[in-house]
Amino acid sequence: MLDTTREREEMVSRQIAARGVRDARVLEAMRSVPREAFLPAELAEFAYVDAPLPIEKGQTISQPYIVALMAAALGLRPGDRVLEIGTGSGYAAAVLGRIAREVYTIERHEELASLAAGRLAELGFANVQVRHGDGTLGWPEKAPFDAIVVAAGGPRLPEALLEQLAVGGRLVIPVGEGKTLQRRTGACAGRTSATCASCP
């Protein structure tokens, strides 16, 4: 595999830190995870462009800035247990896995779940577990989670996910009736407010 250290450093500097992401753990995680390892081989040369890219099953790997922004909004700490809904290629789970103690990630496409699990294992992410299933149901037997992140938006917060959030936990999800109307929303367990301080 090519050494992309310089490309990752430039990505973090120009695409992420320059846009206001300041969480040192997130920035270091973004520097350390090789995005090209989570792309189809023919797209590896575009790994550090400032854009989402196509992956298998007609899905996309998120723009690096969005991955960093959502990770920063979670306010992760090294001892946290995290649930991710929408594994995709496994890239965001790898970033989360560099920060949190345990990451559980669910993907509805069986092929994507299998590919992501293989990539993560090959790269040594023993603290990330991948499941094929319905993400709206969460992963109740592994709950509660200190943080939950949902990659794909929906019209409302899934109740099952709120129930699996630990007291004081953080949940980040794009919410809205359609993609053009979605906004980033957070919910903090134990609060009455719909939006937490880390998720404006």
| Active-site annotation, residues | 62
- DSSP sequence for the chain: ----HHHHHHHIIIIIGGGT---HHHHHHHHHS-GGGGS-GGGGGGTTSSS-EE-GGG-EEPPHHHHHHHHHHTT--TT-EEEEE--TTSHHHHHHHHHSSEEEEEESSHHHHHHHHHHHHHTT-TTEEEEES-GGG--GGG--EEEEEESS-BSS--HHHHHTEEEEEEEEEEESSSGGG-EEEEEETT-SSSS-TT--
